[in-house]
A and B are shown apart, each in its own frame.
Chain A
Amino acid sequence: MSELATLQINGTVARLTLNRPEQRNALSPDLLAALHSQIDLLRQKAVASEINVCVLTGAGRSFCAGMDLKAVLGNDALVEELLLSLAMFTHKLRTLPCITLAVANGAAIGGGCGLLTVCDMSITHADSKMGFPEVDLGVCPAVVAPWLVKKIGAGAARNMLLSGGLMSGHEAHARGIVCDVAPTLEEMHTQVNAMVERLAGASPAALKATKGLLNELDDSINEAVLRKAAALSAAVINSPATQGMLRKKMGM
């Protein structure tokens, strides 16, 4: 079996790819573990000023379909572990001392849309689908909520998380979830190449000073908030009502 998360490095640009295309890159415990080990490696290189830009994307047609609860549902401790793993990965992603660019090649749903929200910049194309349908499933999008509030503001985040559902790439752009939207997938890749080339030349020292300051002022360094959020999200998933609903949805 191929690696669930791959890391390619080309000059000062790293490319971290969710590589579980047959499951639409859904975040299973194994995929998250793979992402953790790759981002730990990436962090060392970025600290050493070897990496300026990290592109986060998905293999296949989806960016990330969200949490994969199949393997853990029914085991409270494993659910808690999975949510904490997601929360700590978002924290590592945010505090990477390089620019993070999410390239949403396709659907970015729930926790997947959350990963995109954590990145410094993001791009998608008009035909992609994204959003936070957690409330539709009886789940609480607690881990992504702090990141979404920082990204689009508390008022807009409240409306989005409580409305559920999905939106097009265009609407995601209009509502500030993604920074840029290209008309087609092909055009998106052209724009990504130009953007990466532009960002790759940043001064590592100036970049670290800027990103460190942003993370400090917008409270991105606050790990305690994320631990609490992960526990809350897990508690809701572990409640009997939500479990029943999720089992039905997943045909379990």
Chain B
Amino acid sequence: MSTDLTDVRVEDHAGVRIVLLDRPAKRNALTPAMLATVADLVRTFAADQSAKALVLGGEGPVFCGGFDLKMCLSRPGTTAALLTGLAELIDLLDGCDKPVVIAAHGGAIAGGCALLGAADGVIGNQTGQYGYPVLKLGLSPAVSAPALAELIGWGAARRRLLDVGLIDGHEARRLGLLHQLMDWPEDVLPKAVRLAANLASKPPEGYAATKQLLRSLRGGGPNQAGGETTGAGARRRALAASLSTADSSEMHTRLSALFAPAASSSPPVTKDSAP
């Protein structure tokens, strides 16, 4: 299980496959290679009879701070690759018939927050920070919209995607972005593993059939534009909307401004990831 893993770690714990983003010094900021690695691990998990449930978590203080913005700025094409990789990973996690739990301790920002909609259960903590502060970076978070709307409804999803402000664990729990709230960040992963083990103990046929049914029920019927609201077509259109903003000159200007000023005076950790 340990070959060629880029900034990702894997553990097995009594039938629960635990995949951990492992780039703690960068708040687990996502690179295209990390997303591809996690996607491969999810495919392996889906086919592995011995793994009964999946937990996705992160090492260090925060589950995931979003995209690696320095890489987005310095290597053209990175942002588009990240958006495409993120959409693919959301689809893969969402398409698993076995239990999927996310341990979002400390925070899940932007691309990290986008993953939450793809899990059967999401656990966070009170002081964690959640949200999509990306409109000020010149980038659209539209890619998250279908899965987020599935999780918390269109009304709340609209507000969260258009507001660059972050919310704490309590508000995230109130909105349904988190299903369970822990007092302390270090309690989140153990709780997620216990939840995954519990879900894995249920008869798998019924669990899989229920997940498949829920997927087939989504969307609420066709909209005027001729597509469903949260299904595969909607996900493609959402990705396209985000891609239309990737690597624009405005994005580069705004990211440059983010990294340029006062680089000498104690740079906040958020500069390694979406602020």
Contacts and interface: CB of A to CB of B under 8 A. Distances in A.
Interface of A: 99, 120-121, 150-154, 176, 179, 195, 198-199, 201-203, 205-207, 209-214, 216-219, 221-222, 224
Given A176-B155, A176-B156, A209-B242, A218 B229 contact: yes
Given A99-B162, A198-B165, A203-B250, A212 B154 contact: no
Name A's interface SS.
Answer: helix
A11 B225 CA distance: 34
Nearest to A122: B159
Interface in B220-275: 220, 223-225, 227, 229-230, 234, 237-238, 241-242, 244-245, 248, 250-251, 254
Contacts of A154: 220
Nearest to A173: B174
Given A152-B153, A206-B140, A219 B224 contact: yes
Contact of A205 (B138, B161, B220, B229): B138
A214 B161 contact: yes
Contact of A203 (B137, B163, B225, B227): B137
A179 B154 CA distance: 12
A150 B155 contact: yes
A205 B163 contact: no
Interface in B16-63: none
A199 B162 CA distance: 8
28 contacts: A99-B163, A120-B158, A120-B159, A151-B155, A179-B156, A195-B163, A195-B165, A198-B164, A199-B162, A199-B163, A201-B136, A202-B136, A203-B135, A203-B137, A203-B250, A205-B138, A205-B245, A206-B138, A206-B140, A206-B245, A210-B141, A214-B142, A216-B237, A217-B145, A217-B149, A217-B229, A218-B154, A218-B158
Contact of B159 (A121, A202, A203): A121
Contact of B134 (A121, A176, A206, A212): A206
B135 A217 contact: no
A192 to B, nearest CB: 13
Contacts of B169: none
B161 A210 contact: yes
Interface of B: 134-142, 145-146, 149, 153-159, 161-165, 220, 223-225, 227, 229-230, 234, 237-238, 241-242, 244-245, 248, 250-251, 254
Given A213-B238, A217-B237, 13 more contacts: A153-B153, A176-B156, A198-B164, A202-B136, A203-B250, A205-B250, A207-B135, A209-B245, A210-B140, A210-B241, A217-B145, A217-B154, A218-B158
B86 to A, nearest CB: 15
Contact of A202 (B142, B145, B154, B164): B164
Nearest to A148: B155
A176 B135 CA distance: 23
Contacts of B242: 209
A152 B149 CA distance: 11
A218 B159 contact: no
A161 to B, nearest CB: 15
A216 B235 CA distance: 12
A203 B241 contact: no
What 5 pairs across the A-B complex have the smallest Cβ distances? A219-B223, A151-B155, A202-B135, A213-B241, A203-B138
Contacts of A222: 223-224
A99 B161 CA distance: 11
B69 to A, nearest CB: 14
Nearest to B242: A209
Contacts of A201: 136, 164
Contact of A179 (B159, B227, B248): B159
Given A99-B162, A121-B163, A219 B254 contact: no
Contacts of A179: 156, 159
Nearest to B154: A218
